[in-house]
């Protein structure tokens, strides 16, 4: 799917993540619930994750999206620090 056809939910999550992770080099959000906004897959590459364990990285993302998560059924998170 092209960037232009992002759902409202996807672009809202990208906006929130850009704000919370200003040093992110890549943020990708995909609605994997068929567009209804119930489940998302999130990929973030950010300097903020360097030297943190995966569980800590995921906690940072969960914290950043705490309000949005209340309205979701599920979330798949993939995080990494830039190589």
Q: Residue 60 falls within a domain, yes or no?
A: yes
37: containing domain:
8-80
Q: Decide if pLDDT at 3 tops 60.
A: no
> What pLDDT, on a 0 to 100 scale, did the predictor assign at position 4?
54
| Structural domain includes residue 1 | no
Q: What is the number of domains present in the chain? A: 1
pLDDT tens-place string over residues 6-52: 889 999 999 999 999 999 999 999 999 987 889 999 999 999 999 99
Residue 2: inside a domain, yes or no?
no
Residue 3 lies in a domain: no
CATH of the domain at 68: 3.30.300.90
In a domain, residue 41? The reply is: yes
On the question of pLDDT at 78 being above 90, the answer is yes
Report the side by side order of strands in the sheet with 39-46. 24-31, 39-46, 74-80
d(CA 44, CA 72): 19
Q: Which residues pair with 39 in a beta bridge?
A: 74
Distance CA 20, CA 17 (A): 5
């Amino acid at each position: 799917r092209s960037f232009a056809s992002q759902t409202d939910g996807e672009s809202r999550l990208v906006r929130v993540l850009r704000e919370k992770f200003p040093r992110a080099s890549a943020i990708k959000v995909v609605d994997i619930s068929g567009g209804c906004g119930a489940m998302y897959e999130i990929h973030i590459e950010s300097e903020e994750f360097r030297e943190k364990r995966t569980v800590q990285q995921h906690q940072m993302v969960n914290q950043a999206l705490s309000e949005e998560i209340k309205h979701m059924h599920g979330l798949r998170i993939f995080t990494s620090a830039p190589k």
